[in-house]
Amino acid sequence: MRALLLAIAAVALLGVVMLALLAFALHGLAPDGLHVVINDRELSFGELPPLPDLGAGLGGLLAIVAAVIVIPVALLLGVLLPLLLLAGALLLLVGLALGVGAISMAPLLLPLLLLVWLWRRAQRRKAAAAQAARSRDAAADTIDL
């Protein structure tokens, strides 16, 4: 593993050196530009486009993409996903416990629910009877012509 890391570092260092030499050759050595001859054709790179500006723009764009997409996704998967899995597991356990508890408590809860329902029904009937009595009293006070 160590040898692999050293080989990768050596290749990266060689790439950095080659890029530095290329940048120096394009901007520092040739005052009138760079002339390359391939198969008796001369290519002149005297009027190079603004490569540093292009590189800075591309680097800025990649940084923005990393900040907008990569970092939130990495945080979501690395931090939030384990918390969501833990919360889901706890909710599942609580739901199972409440479900088993409801089933096991059914012999006690069903009669209690029946008593509550009967009590509420009696209250509704009393309220309806009181309202009917009020409407009868109001009707008795009026004279129909």
Which string of DSSP letters, residue by residue, matches 10-48? HHHHHHHHHHHHHHHIIIII-TT--EEEETTEEEE-SS-
The pLDDT score that the predictor gives to residue 128 is 92
- pLDDT reported for residue 6: 83
Residue holding tokens 């309202």?
131
Q: What is the pTM of this model?
A: 0.31
Q: Enumerate the H helices of 44-142 as residue ranges.
A: 51-65, 71-75, 81-104, 106-141
pLDDT of residue 47: 57
Mean pLDDT, residues 10-33 taken together: 74
pLDDT class of 145 with cuts at 50, 70, 90? low
pLDDT of residue 120: 96
Question: Quick check: 112 pLDDT over 80?
Answer: yes
pLDDT at 122 over 90: yes
Tell me: the pLDDT tens digits for 29-86?
555 666 778 888 877 666 555 667 777 778 888 888 888 888 888 888 888 888 889 9
Split at pLDDT 50, 70, 90, the class of 121 is: very high
Residue 31 confidence (pLDDT):
55
What is the number of residues in the chain? 145
Phi, psi of 36, deg, nearest 5: -120, 135
CA angle 59, 62, 65 (to 5 degrees): 150
